[in-house]
Amino acid sequence: MFKALLVDKPGDRYQCTLTELDDAQLPEGNVTVRVAYSTINYKDGLAITGRSPVIRKFPLVPGIDCAGTVEASTHPDFKPGESVVLNGWGVGESHSGGLAQKARLSGDWLIPMPAAFTPRQAMAIGTAGYAAMLCVQALERHGVTPAQGEVLVTGASGGVGSVAIALLSGRGFRVVASTGKLDETGYLKDLGAAEVIDRALLSAPGKPLARERWAGVVDAVGSHTLVNACAATKYGGAVAACGLAQGMDFPGTVAPFILRGVTLYGVDSVMAPKGKRIAAWNALAAELDPLRLAAITHEITLAEALAAASDILAGKVRGRLVVNVNK
Ligand code: NDP
């Protein structure tokens, strides 16, 4: 038997409970992983609370991320004892996921644990941090450089935002952090933000074009915030959009795209091909300062993950939550 969170829908009642499962309840898969750590991402918050229809099969173990050790494998790339990381691929949505002491997965979804990281550090990064690197790499491919000017990070105190600030400041950018938590200004500056602004400046309807300020943007928020970020992006600049913490809508105009040649990149971590994942994880290993990573990490237990799911949706979580599934 092993401990797991389980989402079920008896009748029409959506519930997530801490329970015990046995191996027979594991799904199909050619690699069995003894999980060490998982994490709570924004999407896990949606899945655990049922706020959005993230889970598409019941009952299901939530958790879009996990890190641990291979216990059994018939996949040619993985042998028992090897350390692995899983992000996305529909795990924790349509295939039982990482918020458990054991997971059964397809070896095609796994990547070897980068040597630079412990399983706990890999989950402190998690999908949020790996998506932050995908955003940074989108700006890099576009050719955005520190010499071109400031970059904006929205949802700054959250998981994607915190990691994006650390990465962009590490690359020499002047990072402006937009947050609803101005009392976290010290935390954001310690991560590398040069300036912290109130997200209220970006979250209300704005003009189609604003004063050109940003060479690049990492946006985890969507809605008016994303529209206003595009409207203030400099001629030829780029915006990497990965999130919807304010909303899924895009209530804007095409003005920034057709009058200033601004490019809006969509960033998806869930179905990103393996090569792109490994490149992102290698870059995280090379660039992410372990002290900054430690500063954004807060560890909780599997039981505490239930309440944390509501907290993350309420925007109350700072940085990243790692879940020690064995506590
Ligand atoms: P977090 O909850 O950790 O961070 C989101 C942050 O957004 C909050 O901390 C808060 O920051 C800000 N925020 C929350 N509510 C609002 C609001 N109503 N208006 C404006 N800002 C708000 O989540 P993650 O960092 O894990 O994820 C961020 C987003 O990115 C989510 O929508 C998530 O689904 C998405 N995502 C997408 C991925 C992809 O592959 N495309 C991968 C990973 C995440 P502050 O208080 O500092 O303003």
Q: Are both 256 and 131 inside the same structural domain?
A: yes
Are 78 and 105 in contact, with CB atoms under 8 Å apart?
no
- Which numbered atom of ligand 1 lies nearest the CA of 46? 34
Cβ–ligand 1 distance for 260 under 6 Å, the answer no
- CATH number of the domain residue 42 falls in: 3.90.180.10
Residue 120 domain flag = no
- 273 pLDDT tier (thresholds 50, 70, 90): very high
Q: Are both 42 and 79 inside the same structural domain?
A: yes
The alpha carbon of 221 and the centre of ligand 1 are apart by a number of angstroms equal to 6
Residue 61, amino acid: V
Residue 186 domain flag = yes
Q: Using omega within 30 degrees of 0 as the cis cutoff, is the peptide bond preceding 59 cis?
A: yes
Q: Give the model's pLDDT for residue 177.
A: 98
Q: How does pLDDT run across 275-293, given as a tens digit for each residue?
A: 999 999 999 999 999 999 9
Burial class (CB in 10 A: 0-12, 13-18, 19+), 165: buried
Cβ–ligand 1 distance for 87 under 6 Å, the answer no
Map tokens 């994006």 to a residue: 164
Determine what percent of the chain is predicted with pLDDT higher than 70.
100
- CA distance linking residue 211 with residue 134, whole number of Å: 27
Residue 280 domain flag = no
Mean local confidence (pLDDT), 166-173? 98
Q: Give the model's pLDDT for residue 220.
A: 98
Q: How does pLDDT run across 296-324, given as a tens digit for each residue?
A: 999 999 999 999 999 999 999 999 999 99
Q: Give the model's pLDDT for residue 12.
A: 85
Judge whether residue 4 has pLDDT over 90. Answer: yes
Cβ–ligand 1 distance for 138 under 6 Å, the answer no
Instruction: Kindly state the tokens that stand for 21.
Output: 């499962």
Q: Are both 132 and 162 inside the same structural domain?
A: yes
Q: Are both 109 and 134 inside the same structural domain?
A: no
Judge whether residue 234 has pLDDT over 90. Answer: yes
The alpha carbon of 244 and the centre of ligand 1 are apart by a number of angstroms equal to 6
Residue 242 domain flag = yes
Domain residues for the domain of 143 are: 127-266
Cβ–ligand 1 distance for 157 under 6 Å, the answer yes
Residue closest to 139 by CA, chosen among 273, 288, 272, 240: 240
When divided into structural domains, the chain yields a total of 2
Cβ–ligand 1 distance for 317 under 6 Å, the answer yes
- CA distance linking residue 110 with residue 82, whole number of Å: 11
Residue 259 domain flag = yes
Best substitution site from 242, 264, 284, 310 to test ligand 1's pocket, by max atoms within 8 Å of Cβ? 242
